[in-house]
Amino acid sequence: MAIILFEDNAHQSLLPLTYTRPVADLRIGIFTIAEKWAKHLKTNFSFHTRAYLQGKFPINITADNIFINGAFCPDADLVEAIDKLHIGDALKYKDQLLAVRLNESDAKHFTTNVDYGQAIAYENFAVTIKYPEDIFRKNDIELRKDFKLVTNGRTSATISSTNTIIGNDFFAEDDVKTECNTFSTINGPIYLSKNTEIWEGTNIRGAFAICSDSQVKMGSKIYGATTIGPCCRVGGEVNNAVIWGYSNKGHAGYLGNSVLGEWCNIGADSNNSNLKNNYAEVKLWDYTIQSYRKTGLQFCGMIMADHVKCGINTMFNTGTVVGVGSNVFGAGFPPNNIPDFAWGGAQFGFEEYSLHKMLETTAKVFERREHREFNDAEQSILKEVFKLTKAYRELYI
């Protein structure tokens, strides 16, 4: 049986985060949504996604295939309902196709616009991801679920007695390095993955997860619900943020109620606001309506897509969306809507970031990481996103 994670129109409402990945490759909690499904169903996964992403995220069709909506996060009830599907059966959540089981022939022609066999209604609660802010907003729920999933039946490694652990829901893998730090699990669990380091003088409050090969620098203050990594270095003050792989926030500065994509770098002493001065509801730029959308949130910081860099002392206002591959610098607050492949800031204005120069920088960033190659698949995605966002850039730069 093969798991194939498909995407419906959620990939549009989740832009710019989904320009560079399928919906199911979004990380929330400890794992990506696809990884969660693989762990629950104990099998490998592949993706049914947009054509330009298929080089990096291919599909694998077998004789027996379960297509699962990549915007849904699994739990025991949902997994049980999917396990009961027979070939041709579909599971629906309200008006959404949640899952369908298909043979090899039908799987090759899969589309969300076809009614398959018997439609079964799923009436339990389900965690779904529709908008970018859902990732930090629902991260606490998913951290708790993933913590149970990854630690079930296991015993934490013993960490140095120079550390203080408050509460019981703490788990460290065997090769974790941590000295002279405080971990409080009173408000949520804490998970330290393999080959991670927490440098001295750090205070961490759950729910919290640091994924493999990541570090938290000295004297950091981390509040729940926060996820870091894999392969990240983070410092300063972080609150309810999800920082994806290969991104760095290595210095002092505040990051709150935010999502940072992969391969981002935050300059020293950069900050984001997560609360308006008048305590009003925060609006976020929405690519689908080309306007600002009410979030219903009072605390909402920044959504930063992949491959973004910002210079030292950059200030991001409440509810800022930063597009793929942008480079932001200079004094003052840049606009709340920074287009993909934009170069500049409030002080100097913005211009289009040359694709050639952006790819040159990205190649250098990849060279600094072992086992990562800036290959044709990676480059072709960025080239396609550059084309897809050109008209949008022309309107707002």
Residues 344-372: pLDDT tens digits? 999 989 999 999 999 999 999 999 998 89
The CATH number that domain 2-130 falls under is 3.90.550.10
Which pLDDT score, from 0 to 100, does residue 309 have? 98
Which pLDDT score, from 0 to 100, does residue 12 have? 97
- Nearest one of 357, 354, 325 to 338, comparing CA atoms: 325
For residue 80, count CB atoms less than 10 angstroms from its CB and return exposed for 0-12, middle for 13-18, buried for 19 or more: exposed
Q: Which fold has domain 135-396?
A: UDP N-Acetylglucosamine Acyltransferase; domain 1 (2.160.10)
Outline which parts of the chain fall under CATH 3.90.550.10: 2-130
- Nearest one of 43, 42, 33 to 71, comparing CA atoms: 33
Asked whether the beta carbons of 253 and 234 are under 8 A apart, the reply is no
Which pLDDT score, from 0 to 100, does residue 371 have? 83
Q: What is the dihedral of CA 389, 391, 394, 397, to 10 degrees?
A: -30
Outline which parts of the chain fall under CATH 2.160.10.10: 135-396
Which pLDDT score, from 0 to 100, does residue 355 have? 97
- Answering whether pTM is above 0.85, one says yes
Asked whether the beta carbons of 382 and 389 are under 8 A apart, the reply is no
pLDDT along the chain (397 residues), means of 10: 94 98 98 97 96 97 97 97 94 93 95 83 95 98 98 97 98 97 98 98 98 98 96 98 97 97 98 97 97 98 98 97 97 96 94 97 93 94 98 91
